[in-house]
Amino acid sequence: MDRILNDIVPKAIIVLFFILLLSILRASIFGQIDPEKHIYFEIVFLLLLAVLGELAVVYTKQPSVMILLILGALMSNSMLTLGWDFLKTLDLPIALPSVAPDIFRAGNVINVFAQLGAVILLFKVGLKNKIEGIFKMDNLAVASAGVALPFIVGYLYASMTGGDFAYSMFLGAALTATSVGVTVALLKEFNLLEERFAQIIIGAAVLDDVLGLLVLSFVINMTGSGGSVAALALTFVSAAVFLFGGVMAGDYFIRYLDRNELDTRGFLLVLAFMLLYAYLAEYIKLSAIVGAFLAGIILNKSRHLNDIEEKTYGLELLFMPIFFITLGMLVDVKTLFEFAVPILILSVLAILTKIIACGAASLFAKLNLKEALLVGVGMVPRGEVALIVASIGLTSGVLGQAQYSIITAMALITTFAVPPLLGRLLKGDVIASRARIPQA
């Protein structure tokens, strides 16, 4: 009898546990839960998606960035709603809840996690770069070309399709953006960050952010949505002081850090240094990832470089997948269908202008044709940088909802286009033969 009880009781408890778990999952997806409690469910769900992404990478042999973006798109509100509506049209033997699954409700908290992922990614990339490699004429030439041609083409396209002056200027500014997070993650995955073409992509992307900031300030001034010539000059001066002053101030931090071994206190100071530079960059209306990248290239000179890379690996593992999944979740399926033609045209223009402009400038930097093409494709993603430009236009009243939707869709399509394009180029290139291509 005791043996029977010993067999039955544990199994009964496990069954009850799974019943409890399923009821909580149903309530978490369809019910009303306190947001402060629901955030734990959302983070668990994101991490499980990341695990699923790693499994998919093994079986599909595709870059993890692309897999995570696709998983995020499948989990977007618009996709879940569309899929749920389709399920309800089927004559299923079970009763479905009337509303679609509502998984991600604490948007602000998840966005913070995603931003930390981008910050940590660019910080880790900065650790592998020397400051002398960023401010080079080759990088400046690529960045300048990657700003000038997209802006001109974007302005002309908007003007010829009936857009007013303000919309044309904002569309041009959105096309100048470069969000290098996706490209950098791919280069890192293929172990190509040390190649010269990769160094040009990274350096040009940082300078592109600075130039793009100046273009945006100019556009705001010209469209009358705020700003002045003095504000434009202040923006330029602030960016220059931050970049050059930050490097010089960082030398003093390195001297202090290197006096002792990198213990817990020292590592916490490193994290504080990284986040401080990210905050300063964000405050002066650069991107936080520029500040984190700058902190990384400063710490490249530290004797604790290897220890810093090792200790930040856990943070990279936690936050980076959330960043890419969240980017995918921004997809709005209804917008893609409603404005399909202008979105498609604008996306093609956005891709071609970066490839042509940055690729041509790379040829002058004495890269071969294949490497120049890699640089051009690597500079294509607009990502969150173009989303910021679009949001400023919307909140200032310059852009209407339809125009805002078109720009945001273009930003996401250009981001999604890069992993397959760049992955195919890297796998087919002689350079990639030395890289680690994911294997089963």
Distance (Å, rounded) from C-alpha 411 to C-alpha 392?
A: 15
402 contacts: CB under 8 Å, gap ≥ 6 = 339
Report pLDDT digits (tens) over 205-233: 878 877 776 777 677 666 665 555 666 67
Supply the pLDDT for residue 431: 45
Supply the pLDDT for residue 64: 77
CB 375 within 8 A of CB 359: yes
Distance (Å, rounded) from C-alpha 196 to C-alpha 204?
A: 12
Supply the pLDDT for residue 153: 94
Supply the pLDDT for residue 36: 76
Supply the pLDDT for residue 268: 94
Candidates 169, 141, 138; CA nearest to 389 is 169
Of the CATH numbers 1.20.1530.20, 3.50.50.60, 3.30.1370.140, 1.10.274.10, which one belongs to the domain with range 107-434? 1.20.1530.20
| Mean pLDDT over the full length of the chain | 82
pTM of the model: 0.73
Between the two ends of the chain, the Cα-to-Cα distance in Å is 50
Candidates 137, 74, 46; CA nearest to 322 is 46
Residues spanned by CATH 1.20.1530.20 within the chain?
A: 107-434
Supply the pLDDT for residue 279: 93
Report pLDDT digits (tens) over 51-102: 998 888 778 766 677 788 788 888 888 888 888 888 877 777 777 777 778 7
CB 376 within 8 A of CB 359: yes
% of residues, the chain, pLDDT over 90? 20
355 contacts: CB under 8 Å, gap ≥ 6 = 373, 376, 377, 379, 380
Candidates 388, 391, 387, 381; CA nearest to 416 is 381
Report pLDDT digits (tens) over 318-341: 888 888 888 778 777 777 788 889
Q: Which residues of the chain carry a pLDDT beneath 70?
A: 1-6, 61-63, 106-107, 133, 213, 217, 220-232, 384, 388, 395, 428-440
Q: Is the dihedral of CA 22, 23, 28, 31 positive or negative?
A: positive
